[in-house]
Amino acid sequence: MATPILVMGEIGTGKSVSIRNLDPKTTFIIASDMKPLTIPNSKTNYKTILKENGKLDIAATNYYETKDAQIVKALLTQISNTRPDIKVIIVDTITSIITDEIMKRSHEKGFGKYTDVALDAYELITMLRGLREDLTIVVMSHTEDNYDSEGVLKTSFKVPAGKAIGNQFKPEAYFHMILYTDVSMVSNKPEYSFLTENNGKNTCRSPLGLFSEYKIPNDLSYVISEYQKYEQ
């Protein structure tokens, strides 16, 4: 069973840059946000390779841009089945995948499209644990704030264009670990971190005793290494 990790936060809070210390030889990035990587040497280390016929050379590629949920699911399966060298898969972000599915069907009337989009998201998220055992899949998502039934403002997984997904299933429930991004000003400079525990107003969580600190560096290499040691 693979290890799915959810990293949540608003735009510009350190989600994508947290991959900076991962080994590109063992990492595959599915870039659903369709934006350039903001880490050093990204164009050298992460590449999309096409065959002479124009089709993707999955064996030589470690970076691919797509918002299509079906292509993302196919890539996840292919990597799991044919790329034993890949140990970490990044999906950045699932928010873009969901948004794209909704926008492609914006001309349709009725609420059936939202149920279909929810099903796509459900299938993508629930397939993760069934991938190769030595894989860690990091899914990145944006967050949103909503008031609960008691009037308390809480932060959770962002559901674009409605509550269909949140009402039918809770995405957070399918992840081993949920980290939230945090940005604090220290000596007039932004300091980027991951939050590791629930503060009563979000869905953040990590395995008991995994991290001794409430805030840790926003470094996925560190997170995955610590989790692997924790599981030994």
pLDDT 10s digits, 153-190: 778 777 765 566 666 678 888 999 999 999 998 888 88
Task: Tell me, rounded to whole angstroms, the distance of Cα 230 from its chain centroid.
Answer: 21
Specify the fold of 3-231.
Answer: Rossmann fold (3.40.50)
Give the ranges where 83-111 is alpha helix by DSSP (H): 94-104
> Which residues of the chain are modeled with pLDDT < 50?
none
Residue type, 128: L
Instruction: Please tell me the predicted confidence (pLDDT) of residue 99.
Output: 86
Instruction: Please tell me the predicted confidence (pLDDT) of residue 22.
Output: 98
- Rounded distance between C-alpha atoms, residue 12 and residue 202, angstroms: 19
Instruction: Please tell me the predicted confidence (pLDDT) of residue 154.
Output: 77
- Rounded distance between C-alpha atoms, residue 68 and residue 198, angstroms: 32
How many other CB atoms sit within 10 Å of the CB of residue 63?
19
Look at residues 62, 174, 92, 82 and name the one whose alpha carbon lies nearest to residue 132.
Answer: 82
Would you state the structure tokens that stand for residue 184, as one six-digit string? 């604090």
- Rounded distance between C-alpha atoms, residue 184 and residue 215, angstroms: 11
125: left (phi over 0), alpha (psi -120 to 50) or beta: alpha
Instruction: Please tell me the predicted confidence (pLDDT) of residue 40.
Output: 92
For residues 201 and 154, the answer to whether their CB atoms sit within 8 Å is yes
pTM as predicted: 0.92
The domains of the chain are located at 3-231
